[in-house]
Structure 1
Amino acid sequence: MTNWGMTARKGTLRREVAMVSWAPLWVLAVLIVLSSPSIASTPVMPAILSPHAPIVIDGDDNFTSTNGVTGGRGGATDPYVIEGWLIDATSSNGITIRQTRAHLVIRNLTIEANSLYYWGIYFDFASNATVQNVSTRGKAGVYIWSSSNITVQDSAVDGQMGVALYSSSLITIKGNRIGKEEGINAYAGDAVRIEGNDISYTGRGILLDGANHTIIDNNTIAWSGTYGLLVVASSSNLSLADNDISSNGWVGASFEGATDGSIVRNRFSGNGHAIPGQGSGLSLASSLRFQVDHNDFLSNEFQANDTPPGMNAWYAAYPRGGNHWSDYTGVDQCSGPAQNLCQGPDGFGDTPYRINGSAQDRYPLMHPVFDASPPTVVQVLATDGYVGESITVSAEIKDPSGVTYVALWLQGIGLDHFDAVPMRPQGGNLYRADIPPQNRPGTVLYHVLANDRWGNEVRDPSSGEYQVQVHSISEPTGAGPAGMDANTLGFLVAVPAGIFGALLLVAWTLRSRKH
């Protein structure tokens, strides 16, 4: 986790080992790092994208290089690939896939558009396609029309409408960042899964209109101007689970005329405040047979409403229980299905929580369902560096609900403000970021901020700042592990690599002489 060796070795190479050409060793080091299994294999956008005209593939016979196909044969294990392009979708759809059945992956590309009339990617009677690690900028989103087995994942979809589908089935929308006016719209969809997306700062987060057998889980649906989730038009067989539905203007989640579903393990927090006296966390209007339990309702304008009441279950049978309500004022002194065995508490309020009319939670939870504690910062490590070189900061951070964002806030030498640098996950609980090269000696101040799945935040250190020194080339850095100074550590690291490099050079020289 530490980078003692890296920093010490850099200083040593500059100041002491001037007689040896280290170029072969640097090449070898780069190859070793790139091949290391400990490096996270998160998809990244290619450094250079090639401009390409809008792509239209009409039928399986048109998967050709002329149409932007860069590889594959169209099978399930060797799909066609379209990648590496920068496409302007201002005057037409960026990519149109029509009447195809061959397997296809569209990945690692960017589509830009400033027109409301065209889509970034448009599927029309298509099947078996995946959109992965794609960025749509401007007003271009993804539209799925009468298609099946389509996946949109790990992408940044910033179109005026993010992802929309009509009369489509077996659709997965997973792990995306979706913004702008409308996040996800599903009309007449079947077997749709919306999982692990960040749908924040939209006009409306998710709309389900006549969608059936839909699963919405593990999403962050926050800060929409109106509805976080709106379900209408006889949508049925729905599951809403493990979502953070927070700070949406009108209603966190509204079900209107929907039937048969479960709403469990969600957090409804701070919703409905844009319309005082009317907004709510969860609204069930003319909706039937929903099971609602083990959710957190925290400081919503109205926590929930059920109209007409009595058609849905707001708790599960004892001893499973109901939901947590931040405004519940009851006590927990008794236990049992009737809460009349008053020999000790059982974690449920002794009196019901009234929702509206006859709707009630018979077993309100006394404690939140989700962990309200912030991530734990186990350690933060860095070592002194030199002018003109970046300095790596490593942090080990844990949280049972998952760490979602880590930032390094630093004050460069001579600056009067702090700047944020995202800390990238490295696998396990390790995160890293680089302090940019400084142009003079001095002290860099920094701290780490981390958020978990539920928005809990920790600052490390809790007050004050960490410090790292930037030295001129003629100065030594601080001690390495176990009191070892930088020069000694650099020597110990460099010598084995030097021996190996020397052997390579000798072998190459002898081979050259033979020829």
Structure 2
Amino acid sequence: MVFRPTDDATIRPDMPTTNLGTSSTLVADASPVRDFLLRFSVTGVGSCQVTSAKLRLFQVDSSDRGGDFHTTASNWSEAIVTWNNAPAAGPKTIASLGSVSTGKWFEVDLTSVVPGDSIVSLRVSSPSSDGAYYSSKEGANPPQLVLTLGPPASSNSHAPIFIDGNSGFTYANGVRSGSGTASDPYVISNWDIDLCQPGAGCGGSGIFVRNTDANFVIRNVRVRSSGSINTFSYYDADVYLYNVADGRVENSTLSDGRSGITVEGSKYVTLSGNNLSVQPIYMSSGGGGETQVAGPCMSIHSSTSIVVSRNTLSPCVNGMESFGTTGMVVSGNKFVQDGVYGLFLEGYGAASTVGALIEINQFGPGTDRGIEINDGANVTQTTISGNIFSGQGIDLHPPTIADCCPSNTMVYGLAQLSSNTITTDNLVNGKPIYYFEGCSGTSINGIPVGQLIVVNCMNFQASNLQIGGVIEGIVLSNVHGATIINDTLSNISRFGVLAFNSDHVTVTGNNITAGNGIQFYVSSNMLVYHNNFLGGGDFAGGAYQGMDYKGSYDSWDYGYPSGGNFWWNYNATDNCGGPQQEVCTGPDGIGDTPFGLDRYPLMKPYPVQT
């Protein structure tokens, strides 16, 4: 099989914003510095084995150094890539070329980074000031990626594998080949591992690797359970990687265990092309009761430079959870039928998600919340782009309020977002998600919006919007001055408007059909009036329509006689009038008794202004 690049381009730091994607040459040079990028889309391999992958480049100007080759992220296009926006080279040099001469083809062995159907993205540099010039895809002799395929390997049974340290990569532990280098990794492949073992019950991990820094790949492995799981540990997973570097898990089928893949305390790990599923597992909790103990299909904890790409997580109790990560890439995955959430960015500490790229994933159908950002989470320098949500979109989870010890306190604190990018090519139920951060004086009016999230902004206005079918309609975090007016927020499962740590926000003239209506946390000088709270949603039948946690100087009405809001479940009488409702000469359209925080609840829906 021979593939030509879909994209290639030279990039230059002395021309940092100039795109050179149409050039007929690709250049690797140290003076002036020039790197080049290549990307191939490999398809049609299927279940066959890639026995050889060779990159072929045609040299058009001799050099004493042909270049150093690195993998890189695939989120670039030759039409727009420049030095400033190009993805960084991976930390490992996967291959190098020495002296190259004009008019000849040169080959680079890429077998270690082409497992099968995949996107292959490379960045090439040179330490030599005698630059190497190659023909680009626009040139006379375009680059080629040449694959040699073998038949699908037979799968053989193997007991669960436990590897502790580099010395554990042995034939007895399922290693079929390799020496542990980047170009020749240890290969554990084509095994069928049953979590049920004679005399040991059913459970545990299928493959457990810890304390290693040798390069390895787990490929085309199946982990399953021939019986019901009856032994349990929170450290169980079909594949568990702990304190490892330079590992890959690819094209494997992982099911039936407590969790599919867990990566903890590790770096430079790639998880690609796997099929994962986790079903509920119930264990006796005493007294005749049972507890559901199954975890998510994938967990990434306290790890750096983890790539999660082209996996299918379905069905799962929950999709993927992550906390304490730096430089994580989650790209091209399918989160389908995944219970409460697809991707859960947990809290429990400072800087819980730093520098992540979450792109081109499918969330749903059958996945409740696509991305949940937990209370207490700190998400920074993260990009979310090109994702499709057919469920309830992005959940910026409100703080958990303790009901004891002491009461009325936040358990984990508020979620914190900073220096993030969420682009409008994220679609929820076919409409764009709008994310504003660090803005001032911004207004959106009457445009299609799937969800609206506003962070660290001043003097913001949202008017005449129609948002529906999501978990939260409008979310404000650290917003100072805003007006939410004349919006229709319908079929919202939880919060029509949710605000954290904000002030001087006016919410008026809106129709809200949501489980929890409007909720404020640690906010001040908030004004809520002339809204129609119409119930609905998933929580308590929509009974809890207004909440104000540790607010100060907030008002849920506009005084008398203007009044407050209409509440679908307010059932008091209207026989009196006046600021104290003590003049009982007839109705005035305002209930005779307050409703929660609203001193002057309206008896009928307020006509939304147009």
Structure-2-length-normalised TM-score: 0.40
> Which structure is higher in helix share?
1
RCO higher in 1 or 2 (8 Å CA, sep ≥ 6)? 1
Instruction: Compute the TM-score of the two structures, normalised by the length of structure 1.
Output: 0.47
